[in-house]
Structure 1
Amino acid sequence: MEKLMSVCKPSQVSWLALLAVLGCASALPVDVDPVCTAGGHAKYRLAFTGKWSQTAFPKQYPLFRPPAQWSPIIAVTHSSDYHIWRRNEYASTGVREFTEKGEAWTLMKEVESAGEKIQSVYGIFSAPAITSGTGQNSADFEVFARHSLLSFIVRIVPSPDWFVGVDSLNLCEGDQWKEQLSLDLYPRDAGTDSGFTFSSPNFATIPQDTVTEITSSFPSHPANSFYYPRLKHLPPIARVTVTKLKGNHIMNLPKDLSQSNLIPIGNEIESLTNTPLDCEVSTWSPWGLCKGKCGQTGTKHRTRYISLQPANDGVACPNLEDEKECEPDNCV
């Protein structure tokens, strides 16, 4: 770096202009999306499919109060200088409230503010909540060359602060609009709550952590609802397909985010993965009293209980009782 600065030290002209003249600009980090030169606008349909089933994710699968489900989708079309969320960066207050409580008002105000101040957001749209882990919904939207990126976020319900989503999916390639894109989605942690399980009580992360991807081994704690040490990778918990629409038709989007009518999206349902779940048992209890006749060898017992039943051909539970020989108690 010192050598670079000695060659590229600016004088009377601007620093970046001088670097460009000297050919040194390429040495600087660049994170810029290719410029979209497609003409006009394009209309798309976002189709979201939940793949959060009890066979794919058997550990602590939420069956009631509430059962596994998905929040409404909050989606934004924008330019490269805006992000609703980013991996390895801190979640905004709006993202925190949405992922922890499902409250979207602050997040919507953040998006609106970005659109007004720096004109980086073209539009915001939504799709209804899904009342099961494997349901479907969809929504139509449009993009322009200046705002060709799509981002969205969906809360995993119930969860501490877990979500799925996409950050800055570019629907443009050069002077062409892409016809279709499909992505598998995996759970992410917003870094604002330290709960390990779907039903964990509020436990704020202090100081706040960055947004991270949850994997089969991270967080590496047996209590974690997504902890499957036998798996190299988690199966996808959801899938999104974005398809370019023909003609000018765009359906009417629901104004009320609580609407739950689902929109069929063709043959998007795929076979569900059967994730093996090994039996988990507690630690052994203390040994009980030694029972037997004085002068003879007695026996004492200890027990343990099943904390997690096996599923999908996972390892069966071991013995729950144990005994060993001993000298009877209370003998003189």
Structure 2
Amino acid sequence: MDSTRNLLSISEALYHVIVMMLTLGQGIQSMPVPTDVPMCTASETAQYRLTFTGKWTQAAFPKQYPVYRPPAQWSNIIGVTHSSDYHIWQRNEFASNGVREFAEKGEAWTLMKEVEAAGERIQSVYGILSAPAVVGGTGQMNTEFEVFARHSYLSFIVRIVPSPDWFVGVDSVDLCDGDHWKENVSLELFPYDAGTDSGFTFSSPNFETIPQDRITQITSSFPSHPANSFFYPRLKHLPPIAKVVLTKIKKTNQIISLPVEPTQSNQLPTGNEIEDNVINTPLDCEVSVWSPWGLCKGKCGDSGVQHRTRYVLMHPANNGAACPLLEEERKCFPDNCL
């Protein structure tokens, strides 16, 4: 409960900071940015609704699924609308200090300062958007935002809680198609490693990566280590851990619609909001290595028996391979007989 309250208080504080930044940022005038990518020529601005849906279930991700202290959940979403020359984060590039702090701790102050500085320096950022944290692995969050031709790209980041430095997000999805705006965009999201912490499991203690690695996508086979919480060697691909739907909506007099202050009640999906079929990922049993053979028990001159054991590291789930035998015995002859 304490971790949930902390997450909600961080969401509330972040909400007020973003309100302040958006208020101050209305005076920033955007300038044309030279680019070699296809230019958006839409004459009017467009408004979109962003719906983030968590798909992080124990059935889809049974290995080390976090049940408590804290349970599986999602941080606030932090996003920006921008031109093609700006990136809040990029795959195979180094995370900024702001992305590091957000991916590791959920703290967004440095990241907000970086976004604000980019907007003032190269005027490539048009707006900042946010939505409250999701208290659960399968909840939803929504927000609305505006884009226009010079700043038709959307990027965002959401921290996976708990985790060492893992997140999901989108880097530079273009909502413009020539001279018109896309009506709907649906994207499946997969986990990324920020490259700043070396933990393998959701609940790993902080262990800084020195030197810092680049941002990499986590897959069912990478990092290739049995302790990795996303390591499923039987799977060719991980199932999506979340998805985002961007829907063009009718314009209103508002430039941006900020979310209400976070509560647990507005995170829970109702009706048919989550329509995807339940994914059941098979999890094979994992056992330890064998112990050394024990003492040979038996009468002198006769054959005896000795045993060795191993224990279960991970119980099977969703029709995964059953555990093998945990004890073996073999014949032996007692030593040190007179």
TM-score, reference length from structure 1 = 0.88
- Is 1:60 aligned to residue 68 of structure 2? no
Q: Which amino acid aligns with 1:318?
A: P
State the partner residue of 2:282: 276
Q: Do 1:284 and 1:304's aligned partners in 2 also have CA atoms closer than 8 Å?
A: yes
Mean CA deviation greater in 264-273 or 44-53: 264-273
In the alignment, which residue of structure 2 is the partner of 1:112?
Answer: 116
Give the drift of 1:329.
Answer: 3.4
| 1:65-99 CA distance string (max 9 Å, x none) | 00000000001000011100001110000000000
1:288-325 deviation line (CA, Å, top 9, x unaligned): 11011111110000000000000000000000000000
> Which structure has the larger Rg over C-alpha atoms?
1
For residues 80 and 72 of structure 2, the distance between their equivalents in structure 1, rounded to whole angstroms, comes to 25
SS of structure 2 residue aligned to 1:63:
coil
Measured at CA, do residues 82 and 263 of structure 1 come closer, stay the same or move farther in structure 2, by a change above 3 Å? farther
Contact 1:291 1:329 in 2 (8 A): no
1:33-85 per-residue CA deviation (whole Å, 9 max, x = no partner) reads: 31000012100000000001000000000000000000000010000111000
Deviations 1:78-129 (A, max 9, x none): 0011100001110000000000011000001100111111110000010110
Aligned-partner Cα distance in 1 for 2:273–2:138: 14
- Alignment coverage as a number of residue pairs: 302
Identity across aligned pairs (percent)?
Answer: 71
- The 1-side partners of 2:330 and 2:268 are apart by 62
Task: Give the counterpart letter for 1:115 in structure 2.
Answer: G
Q: Please, which of 259, 262, 271 is the counterpart of residue 254 of structure 1?
A: 259
TM-aligned CA distance change 1:50 to 1:107, over 3 Å: same
Q: Is the 8 A contact 2:298 2:334 kept in 1?
A: yes
Give 1:100's match in structure 2, choosing from 88, 98, 104: 104
Please say if residues 51 and 272 of structure 1, whose CA atoms lie closer than 8 Å, have aligned partners that are also in contact. no
Q: Counterpart of 1:3? A: none
SS of corresponding position for 2:246: strand
Q: Which amino acid aligns with 1:320?
A: L
- Select 1:296's aligned residue among 302, 321, 328: 302
Match of 2:273 among 267, 276, 289: 267
Q: What runs of 5+ residues in structure 2 fail to find an aligned partner?
A: 1-34
Question: CA 1:259–1:76 in 2, change beyond 3 Å: closer, same or farther?
Answer: farther
Letter in 2 for 1:253: L
Cα distance in 1 between the residues matched to 2:102 and 2:249: 30
Query: Among residues 125, 131, 137, which one is paired with 1:127 in the alignment?
Result: 131
Report the alpha carbon displacement of residue 32 of structure 1 after superposing the two structures with TM: 3.5
Within 2, Cα distance between the matches of 1:213 and 1:166? 12
Q: Look up the SS of the partner of 1:72 in the other structure.
A: strand
Q: What SS does the aligned partner of 2:119 have?
A: helix
Matches within 5 A, 1:1-332: 32-248=36-252, 252-254=257-259, 259-260=263-264, 261-262=266-267, 267-332=273-338
Q: What secondary structure does 2:114 align onto?
A: helix
Task: Say if 1:237 and 1:62 are closer, same or farther in 2 by CA, change over 3 A.
Answer: same
Alpha carbons of 1:294 and 1:264: their partners in 2 closer, same or farther (altered >3 Å)? closer
AA in 1 matched with 2:79: A
Cα separation, partners in 2 of 1:194 and 1:320, compared to 1, 3 Å: same
SS for the counterpart of 2:120 is: helix
Match for 1:225: what amino acid? S
Q: Tell me if the contact between 1:138 and 1:262 (Cα under 8 Å) persists in the aligned partners.
A: no
Shift of 1:271: 1.6
The amino acid across from 1:281 in the alignment is V
Contact persistence 1:49–1:269 (CA under 8 A): no
Q: CA deviation at 1:254?
A: 3.1
